[in-house]
Amino acid sequence: MNIRSLPLLSLCLLAACPTALMAESLSLPAPDTTGGKPLMQALAQRHTTRAFRPDPLDNATLGNLLWAAWGQNRPDGKRTAPSARNRQALQLYVNKADGLWRYEAATHSLERISDALGSPLDEAPAVLIFAVPENDPYGGMHVGSVYQNVGLFCASAGLANVVKASTTRDASRFGFLPRGWKAAATQSVGKPR
């Protein structure tokens, strides 16, 4: 093959498959930061529920959930959950029927990573996967803060949720995490049955 034909071949491949180099992205509706129950009421109603209806979460609810969990709540990029030394060394993924997505707080959007991981994770319509660097001594604290935010949001929004260790092991086996990262916890979320 002539080296001069490589640019033409590249253009032909891109024309045939224009999404090959572009990740699928989903912009989420702006979070509703003025609604919800008072904090003390949400604390009183926070509880674990293991039974979910199969109905998917709409994008507004999912966006509010992800923002409450690990969104940016200040212009300087700081988050709704604390992180030691503001390292922000946590990645939040959501597994749902239409795929595995990574939450991008800066743009309040989802980036599609792969097809859905399937039922080995859970029957809930949304399973959050919290990933941290394997060697981060603060990773567990960060994850605990984030899943507490999720639990409080669920209490406020009337959603069911449960944190599970068993699905955390399953999530780690799928190979979607960056090298040196691990799934530290999973949290199933949906409408209560």
What's the confidence (pLDDT) of residue 119? 65
- Sequence spans of domains, the chain: 23-190
Both tokens of residue 153? Answer: 């949001």
CATH match for 23-190 among 3.40.109.10, 3.50.50.60, 1.10.1060.10, 3.40.1160.10: 3.40.109.10
What's the confidence (pLDDT) of residue 177? 94
Q: What is the pTM of this model?
A: 0.86
Both tokens of residue 190? Answer: 């949906």
Stretches in the chain below the pLDDT threshold 50: 1-22
Listed in order, strand segments (DSSP E) in the chain are: 25-27, 91-96, 99-104, 109-114, 126-133, 160-164, 181-190
Q: Where are the alpha helices (DSSP H) in the chain?
A: 6-16, 39-45, 59-70, 139-157, 166-172
What's the confidence (pLDDT) of residue 166? 79
